[in-house]
């Protein structure tokens, strides 16, 4: 028997043995797709890690056969196909993570201002690890698949897989330099405050969901910062985010203008009929993370300053124009959501970009011309009418302007949250408990608005500040506010340090990210947060920039 044959038999034996073990574990919960898939995916990952990619593929094949034979009533053909694809992809990724050459490992962090060679690496985890995480988190593809098919969440195993890669190559990624930064530590302290408030929560399911989302945000922050091991990796990740936003926006514009492509990407980006102004109801662009136009607009607008910053950092004209086109497309996508908060946030970001980037008059003129061209293809009159409904917020407008039901309802949400905070100032009513206590406090503050909602329906804070104050009190406001303050201080210092060293192309990335965070917070003045993983991702970028700036990585 040749050595090659012996190796092949050993790989078959390892794969088959692990699949048998996984089958036994899966029989502990034979009606749970989550437990079944988790057991077999674990077998595939371990097999690929121990005996290389071929064994992982063998384990995938054996697992598909075992699933069809032993769990045919629980797992259908669609799920088997999805499992085979995930297993094959996971095998390749684990294989690549295991075989990163030692020469690619970075040396320990050098003293401040000491220039050194870049940490470039052609291997899959170093090249695609952070962009992969960004695409999964930003597009919220895991929840989209879960809502449409009976499959478990993909986000948790992806986070676990990337965490294994980071730990395996901790000499290169150095997660300790991220964990000990102020931003991740303060974000973790906010998660701890949320966890503490679950003691008096009346609905434990809502509390656990909110705390679980905070823990995911902390993990994503640390992972994103660790995977940002070079400026190249960070730029690639930002480009992935901008590209996803541009694709989503292009689809949304086509949907709103033509009514077509509503089933594209499995309905991930769709239309939702809503009030524009007065009695006019029209389709609005909607998408991740919760199939709501306002939440969708908030994730799109973050991509605009990032695209502009990436474009300004380019030396080639065609690359710069490509990024500017992506920014224009994301702007158009945000406008067709008809989200008033997002529109105002975009205006604020434009002003910040003009002052922070010191853009030349010629560039400003080109940008204005581009914006005018975008408006030519969009229903500009409807956008103007939509913004006009904000007149009811002006002093003295209550007696002259027609009542806008959505504005009045949001006022009621915010006032109810403030009342909760007034009665529970230190720790709030508990993580995720605004919904549970809303009607109790809405009856106290009162409103002239007719309530047409169904009996037993819930309300949402519709303001991030109100959400934090009402659910976690002063301690929540202090920890989350300190996280944001630390993030802006880090970005400001990094930008100034990079400019002082002549690294303008890197400084502008820090500036763009800071403006993106400002836009996110501006939109959040009138919108709460259901997915803390998004700010966790943005804060991870900031932690990565802080480390790269401190180590002064010089790229060829």
Q: What is the pLDDT of residues 533-543, one digit of tens each?
A: 999 999 999 99
Asked whether the CA dihedral 84, 88, 93, 95 is positive or negative, the reply is positive
Q: Which residue has the higher pLDDT, 229 or 266?
A: 229
Name the strand (E) or helix (H) holding 281.
strand 280-286
Question: How many domains does one find in the chain?
Answer: 1
pLDDT exceeds cutoff 60 at 43:
yes
Q: What is the pLDDT of residue 210?
A: 92
Q: What is the pLDDT of residue 363?
A: 61
Q: How confident is the model at residue 429 (pLDDT cuts 50, 70, 90)?
A: very high
For residue 255, being part of any structural domain is answered with no
pLDDT exceeds cutoff 80 at 549:
yes
Q: What is the pLDDT of residue 296?
A: 93
487 close to 442: Cβ distance less than 8 angstroms: no
Please tell me what DSSP assigns to residue 218. H
Q: How confident is the model at residue 290 (pLDDT cuts 50, 70, 90)?
A: confident
Q: What is the pLDDT of residue 52?
A: 62
The packing angle between helices 464-500 and 182-197, to 10°, is 170
Please tell me what DSSP assigns to residue 525. G
For residue 23, being part of any structural domain is answered with yes
Q: How confident is the model at residue 515 (pLDDT cuts 50, 70, 90)?
A: very high
Q: What is the pLDDT of residue 413?
A: 86
Q: Tell me the range of 70-84, 145-159, 304-318 where mean pLDDT is highest.
A: 304-318
Alpha carbon distance 460, 413 (integer Å):
7
Q: What is the pLDDT of residue 306?
A: 95
Q: Which residue has the higher pLDDT, 219 or 457?
A: 219
Length of the chain measured in residues: 556
266 close to 78: Cβ distance less than 8 angstroms: no
Please tell me what DSSP assigns to residue 403. P
Q: Is 112 helix (H, G, I), strand (E, B) or coil?
A: coil
Q: Which of 386-390, 393-397, 466-470 has the lowest mean pLDDT?
A: 393-397
Rounded mean pLDDT of 457-468? 84
pLDDT exceeds cutoff 70 at 119:
no
Q: Tell me the range of 92-101, 168-177, 437-446 where mean pLDDT is highest.
A: 168-177
Q: Which residue has the higher pLDDT, 364 or 233?
A: 233
For residue 359, being part of any structural domain is answered with no
Q: Which two tokens stand for residue 553?
A: 């990585």
Taking alpha carbons only, the member of 321, 373, 327 closest to residue 349 is 327
Rounded mean pLDDT of 473-485? 96
What DSSP string describes 76-109? -HHHHHHHHHHHHHHHHHHHHHHT--GGGSPPSP
Q: How confident is the model at residue 116 (pLDDT cuts 50, 70, 90)?
A: very low
Rounded mean pLDDT of 497-506? 91
Q: How confident is the model at residue 554 (pLDDT cuts 50, 70, 90)?
A: very low
For residue 284, being part of any structural domain is answered with no
Class of residue 1 by CB neighbours under 10 A (exposed 0-12, middle 13-18, buried 19+): exposed
For residue 369, being part of any structural domain is answered with no
Alpha carbon distance 473, 463 (integer Å):
14
Percent of the chain whose predicted confidence (pLDDT) is above 90? 35
- Mean pLDDT of all residues in the chain? 81
For 454, other C-beta atoms within 10 Å of its C-beta total: 6
For residue 24, being part of any structural domain is answered with yes
Rounded mean pLDDT of 23-29? 75
Rounded mean pLDDT of 49-56? 67
For residue 204, being part of any structural domain is answered with no
Q: Which residue has the tokens 């100032």?
A: 425
pLDDT exceeds cutoff 70 at 361:
no
Q: How confident is the model at residue 403 (pLDDT cuts 50, 70, 90)?
A: low
Q: Tell me the range of 68-72, 319-323, 380-384 where mean pLDDT is highest.
A: 319-323
pLDDT exceeds cutoff 70 at 381:
no
For residue 2, being part of any structural domain is answered with yes
pLDDT exceeds cutoff 70 at 39:
yes
Rounded mean pLDDT of 225-236? 92
Q: What is the pLDDT of residue 187?
A: 96
Taking alpha carbons only, the member of 530, 533, 531 closest to residue 458 is 530
Tens digit of pLDDT for each residue in 77-107?
667 777 777 777 777 666 665 554 444 444 4
Q: What is the pTM of this model?
A: 0.76
Rounded mean pLDDT of 427-439? 89
Q: What is the pLDDT of residue 439?
A: 81
Rounded mean pLDDT of 6-12? 75
Instruction: Show the domain range for 37.
Output: 1-99
280 close to 384: Cβ distance less than 8 angstroms: no
Alpha carbon distance 443, 68 (integer Å):
55
């Amino acid at each position: 028997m040749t050595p090659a044959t012996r190796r092949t038999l050993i790989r078959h034996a390892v794969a088959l043995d692990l699949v048998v073990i996984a089958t036994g574990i899966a029989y502990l919960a034979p009606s749970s797709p989550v437990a079944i898939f988790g057991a077999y995916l674990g077998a595939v990952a371990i097999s690929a890690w121990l005996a290389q990619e071929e064994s992982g593929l063998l384990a995938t094949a054996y697992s598909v056969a075992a699933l069809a034979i032993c769990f045919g009533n629980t797992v259908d053909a669609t799920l088997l196909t999805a499992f085979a694809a995930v297993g094959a992809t996971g095998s390749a990724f684990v294989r690549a993570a295991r075989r990163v050459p030692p020469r690619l490992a970075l040396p320990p962090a050098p003293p401040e201002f000491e220039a050194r060679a870049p940490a470039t690496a052609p291997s899959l985890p170093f090249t695609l690890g952070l962009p992969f995480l960004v695409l999964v988190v930003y597009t919220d593809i895991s929840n989209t698949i879960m809502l449409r098919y009976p499959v478990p969440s993909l986000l948790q195993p992806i986070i676990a897989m990337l965490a294994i890669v980071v730990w395996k190559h901790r000499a290169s990624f150095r997660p300790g330099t991220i964990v000990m930064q102020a931003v991740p530590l303060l974000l973790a302290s906010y998660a701890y405050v949320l966890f503490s408030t679950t003691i008096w929560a009346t609905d434990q399911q809502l509390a656990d969901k909110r705390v679980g989302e905070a823990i995911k945000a902390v993990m994503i922050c640390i992972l994103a910062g660790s995977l940002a091991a070079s400026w190249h990796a960070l730029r690639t990740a930002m480009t992935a985010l901008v590209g996803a936003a541009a694709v989503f926006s292009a689809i949304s514009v086509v949907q709103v203008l033509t009514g077509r492509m509503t089933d594209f990407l499995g309905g991930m980006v769709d239309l939702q009929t809503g009030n524009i102004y007065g009695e006019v109801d029209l389709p609005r662009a909607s998408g991740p993370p919760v199939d709501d136009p306002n939440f969708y607009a908030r994730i799109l607008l973050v991509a605009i300053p990032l695209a502009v910053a990436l474009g300004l950092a380019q030396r080639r004209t065609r690359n710069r124009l490509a990024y500017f086109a992506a920014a224009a497309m994301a702007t158009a996508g945000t406008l067709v959501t008809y989200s008033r908060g997002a529109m105002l946030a975009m205006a604020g970001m434009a002003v910040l970009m003009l002052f922070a980037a010191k853009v030349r008059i010629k560039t400003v003129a080109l940008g204005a011309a581009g914006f005018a061209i975008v408006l030519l293809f969009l229903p500009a009159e409807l956008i103007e009418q939509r913004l006009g409904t904000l007149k009811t917020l002006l002093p003295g407008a209550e007696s002259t302007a027609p009542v806008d039901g959505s504005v009045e309802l949001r006022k009621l949400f915010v006032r109810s949250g403030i009342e909760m905070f007034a009665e529970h100032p230190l720790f709030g009513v508990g993580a995720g408990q605004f919904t549970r206590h809303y009607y109790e406090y809405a009856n106290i503050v009162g409103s002239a608005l007719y309530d047409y909602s169904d009996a037993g329906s819930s309300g949402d804070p519709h303001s991030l500040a109100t959400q934090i104050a009402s659910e976690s009190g002063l301690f929540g406001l202090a920890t989350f506010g300190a996280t944001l303050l630390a993030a802006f201080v880090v970005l400001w210092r990094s930008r100034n340090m990079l400019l002082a060293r002549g690294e303008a192309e890197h400084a502008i990335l820090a500036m763009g990210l800071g403006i993106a965070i400002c836009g996110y917070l501006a939109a959040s003045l009138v919108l709460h947060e259901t997915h803390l993983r998004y700010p966790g991702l943005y804060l991870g970028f900031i932690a990565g920039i802080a480390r790269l700036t401190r180590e002064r990585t010089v790229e060829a």
